[in-house]
C-alpha cells in the first residue's frame, strides 16, 4: 500500500521538478521523488560504508568467529 505525501515547494523548485519530469524521462512527479529517495538511501549507505572503513583503518573493530559471539559483543 502506498502513502500519499503532499509537499510544498517554492515556485523555482516546482519548475525544476516539472522540467526534470519532462527532460529526465520520469513518468510522473511521484516517480521523480521516489528516485530521489532511492538516491538518498544509496548515498547514506555509501557514507555508512565509508565510516566503517575509517573505523577499521583506525583500529576500531572487533573480530568475532560466530554469530553468538557477535551478540555478546553487541551487548557491551
The answer to whether residue 56 is domain-embedded is: yes
The answer to whether residue 3 is domain-embedded is: no
Give tens-digit pLDDT for 21-47: 999 889 999 999 999 999 999 999 999
The answer to whether residue 45 is domain-embedded is: yes
The answer to whether residue 4 is domain-embedded is: no
Give the residue from 40, 63, 43 showing the smallest Cα distance to 51.
43
Q: Is the pTM of this model over 0.75?
A: no
Gap between the Cα atoms of 31 and 34, Å rounded = 5
Give the residue from 44, 15, 48 showing the smallest Cα distance to 32.
15
Range of the domain at 35: 11-71
Give tens-digit pLDDT for 43-75: 999 999 999 999 999 999 988 888 888 787 655
Instruction: State how many domains the chain has.
Output: 1
The answer to whether residue 6 is domain-embedded is: no
The answer to whether residue 1 is domain-embedded is: no
The answer to whether residue 24 is domain-embedded is: yes
Amino acid at each position: 500500500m502506498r502513502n500519499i505525501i503532499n509537499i510544498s515547494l517554492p515556485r523555482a523548485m516546482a519548475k525544476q521538478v516539472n522540467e526534470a519530469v519532462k527532460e529526465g524521462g520520469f513518468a510522473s512527479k511521484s516517480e521523480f521523488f521516489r528516485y530521489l529517495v532511492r538516491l538518498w538511501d544509496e548515498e547514506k549507505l555509501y557514507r555508512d560504508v565509508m565510516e566503517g572503513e575509517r573505523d577499521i583503518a583506525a583500529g576500531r573493530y572487533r573480530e568475532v568467529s560466530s554469530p553468538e559471539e557477535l551478540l555478546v559483543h553487541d551487548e557491551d
